[in-house]
Amino acid sequence: MTLNVVILAAGQGKRMHSALPKVLHRLAGQPLLAHVVAAARALKPGRICVVYGHGGEQVPVSMRADDLIFVRQSKQLGTGHALKQALPCLDIRAPTLVLYGDVPLTTIATLRRLTAGKGDHIKILTALLENPTGYGRILRDTRGKVTGIVEEKDATPVQKTVSEGNTGLILLPTKYLAGWLGRLSNRNAQREYYLTDVIGLGIADGVRVETVAPTALCEIFGVNSQRQLADLERVYQRVAVDRLLEAGVNFADPNRFDLRGSLRCGRDVRIDVNCVFEGSVRLGHGVEIGANCVIRNATIASGTRVAPFSMIDDARVGANCVIGPYARLRPATELADQVHIGNFVEVKASKVGRGSKANHLAYVGDSVVGRNVNVGAGTITCNYDGANKHKTIIEDDVFIGSDTQLVAPVTVRRGATIGAGSTITKEAPAHQLTLSRSRQISIANWRRPRKAVKGR
């Protein structure tokens, strides 16, 4: 079955107290709207239409994609009015699924159940709530058939006792929408055109109405304030950590973990507190991540240990490596197996060969480092001339003494040794000691300068 998806994302979100449109506030590192779009895409619809309004062009600029159609609702006159703006973009032959840009946790499984079937009738996602305050109520007759939806502000005291709430997510036969939306009235407490009034119109036209329940209540939670956003963040993270726990990942404290993307783990992975994983991250068997690490778009092979306070960004790390503490691997870094990158060492756009080490206070940038190389403390590759980046080549079995500057472009040949404190600007020959130092001198009778005494 082909499908239209319309995502209503025009609300201002006054209680957010922010100039940013509500649907662009971030949950797990992504805009609320991005989560809804991802779920919609999983259904493989023919069209995805986003109705935006508040915040001008911020929403389409931030979320622009080839498969998204953006339609502006200039005046926020209600959900029925919002859907009406999308009508010209819809395929009349396919049913239309209505989602909300501030309801980010609805699962694909629930949406598939909601959209299953021929799509020639109305299907509503509803939930039984202990406290349905704020939700429209599902009205049923004595036989249990849905007769309509009443918004809370328009509900009678008896209707407010109904515990079945309307989530807002609904599947509608598109061929009837133009007629139904054209007959909506704003004679209600909020003076808005309610999409929920379509239910009564559909019933009057003989269209069958069905309801579907979510797998978990968190799937229907929306965001209207910073507090609700924070609460939903914890819900999201708890769901993510439970899934990883079920897969065998060991957490020092599951409540102090943040996933802002996807994380795939092998067996016997251990993750300490306050770690953040962003983008796509893959950890091999037996990987250990120390406390307070940030890992983004990285692959870390089996047996590697990442010590606390390290950052790995868009890098590939081999097996049985030791990283950190306080190490930084920047984009386009590739480490082979058994590499050691120690405290306060930064590696950027470089390949480091098997068994090589840079254990202290070093910078390796735009370099190719061979096997079994020792990079001494305080060593830096001077790769930037103020306009262009240049490459440093360090071949296998090189020993670089502490406090060395390698001024690129430069090559250090196999087995070379660089004396401590050297500035290397020319090729260092293989299997030789290369050093560059000025002659050490001592000046007799030299006096250290003293501070002037005030008042003299």
Cβ–Cβ under 8 Å, residues 21 and 52: yes
Name the nearest CA neighbour of 220 among 105, 135, 136, 133: 105
Could you give the CA distance from residue 452 to residue 439 in angstroms, rounded to a whole number?
33
In whole angstroms, what separates CA 223 from the centre of its chain?
18
Name the nearest CA neighbour of 418 among 335, 366, 362, 365: 362
Could you give the CA distance from residue 88 to residue 245 in angstroms, rounded to a whole number?
46
Give me the torsion for CA of 151, 53, 183, 195, rounded to 10°. -30
Report angle CA 199, 137, 180 to the nearest 5 degrees: 15
Q: Which two tokens stand for residue 452?
A: 């002037």
Q: What are phi and psi of 309, to 5 degrees?
A: 60, 35
Could you give the CA distance from residue 320 to residue 311 in angstroms, rounded to a whole number?
17
The CA–CA distances, whole Å, from 138 to 40, 155, 161, 166, 380 equal: 25, 11, 11, 6, 68
Cβ–Cβ under 8 Å, residues 312 and 306: yes
User: Active-site residue numbers?
Assistant: 360
Name the nearest CA neighbour of 281 among 268, 272, 294, 267: 294
